[in-house]
Amino acid sequence: MKAVRVHETGGSDRLVYEETPAPSPATGQVLVRIRSIGVNFIDVYFRKGLYPAAVPFTPGMEASGVVEGLGEGVAGIMPGGRVAYAMTPGSYAEYAAVDSDKLITLPESIDFETASSVLLQGMTAHYLTRSTFPLKKGSTLLVHAAAGGVGLLLTQIAAFLGARVIATVSTDEKASLAREAGAEHVIVYSRTDFEAGVKEITGGTGVDVVFDSVGRDTFDRSLNCLKPRGTLVLFGQSSGPVPPVDPNILNSKGSLFLTRPGLAHYTATRAELVQRANDIFRWLADGVLKLRIDRIFPLRDASKAHDLLESRNSRGKVLLRP
């Protein structure tokens, strides 16, 4: 089969499109013929070596496709079934062997591109707003990179839950997208200091929660945007990792809470995984969530997809097609 592989970590030119043996499903696994592949920022971290993986490896954590074959001991899944999955490495390929308990069966209303666009980022937005910091009507939140993949979904869910969204984005075009998604206030943080902006918008009070996926460039000021006893949810590092933090800072800035959550821990059980995925699919079917697919690249052009994500020019989801 054709796959994209990384033999040496580094720049996007290390994503090599090549022939490699197709996997065969082990006990409890399913062979999936991949139809659409979701590109996520975590793929960039692995490619760069920021997150460790033994080389060579096939990057990619998200895909949708058709069940092609079953390993021993798999029940309840039939060849020909339409499925999707997230957080299983190796999706930049024509086939993947995936643990059957990680697969979500697609409802009729969800096509392959939609599934590989919303599963990982949608379940992330779901757990952040429903479990890490359960938003209530009237909660005030700050979300960075609000026109990105996770950002647009998180903004829509927060607005749906009745929370007041303050969003940051880097361009005016992205500001329009964040507003359309339901943000009440948008700060273009490439030209305006977002800390001052949040103080002004909240009359000096600060927000209940900050969802920060940008990391190094925003972390310190994100803490300064919180109310006393507010929560900083650091869930990514698009601008680079945050240096070590002295826990006393949480006290001096107002008895703050800091958490660094990951999707795997919030989809740890089959029941939780299925519930989050089905909520996302239902919200799409009901029109609560609108999906924005930015670009679809052929699998052989995975490096262009990474360049787009890293250039900050993507708006919404980036996909690969095998």
Question: What residues make contact with ligand NDP under the rule CB under 6 A?
Answer: 40-42, 120-121, 124, 145, 147-151, 169-170, 174, 213-214, 217, 235-239, 261-263, 309-310, 312, 314
CB of 1 to ligand NDP, least distance (A): 25
CB 22 → ligand NDP: shortest distance, Å?
A: 27
Closest CB to ligand NDP among 154 and 223?
154
Least distance in angstroms from the C-beta of 157 to ligand NDP: 14
Instruction: Measure the CA–CA gap between 38 and 291, rounded to whole angstroms.
Output: 13
Residue type, 204: G
CA distance 322 to 317: 16
Q: Is 182 helix (H, G, I), strand (E, B) or coil?
A: coil
- Number of other residues whose CB lies within 10 A of the CB of residue 293: 17
Q: Closer CB to ligand NDP, residue 58 or residue 239? A: 239
C-beta atoms surrounding 215 within 10 Å: 19
**CA–CA separation, 212 and 228 (whole Å):** 18
Shortest distance (Å) from residue 10 CB to ligand NDP: 16
Rounded to whole angstroms, how far apart are CA atoms 135 and 139? 6
Minimum CB distance to ligand NDP, residue 185 (Å): 15
Residue (91 or 238) nearer to ligand NDP, CB? 238
Min CB(261)–ligand NDP separation in Å? 6
Contact call for residues 215 and 234 (beta carbons, < 8 A):
yes
Long-range contacts of 274-277 (CB under 8 A, 24+ apart): 274/104, 276/122, 276/123, 276/126, 276/127, 277/84, 277/104, 277/119, 277/122, 277/123
C-beta closer to ligand NDP: residue 30 or 157:
157
CB 193 within 8 A of CB 218: no
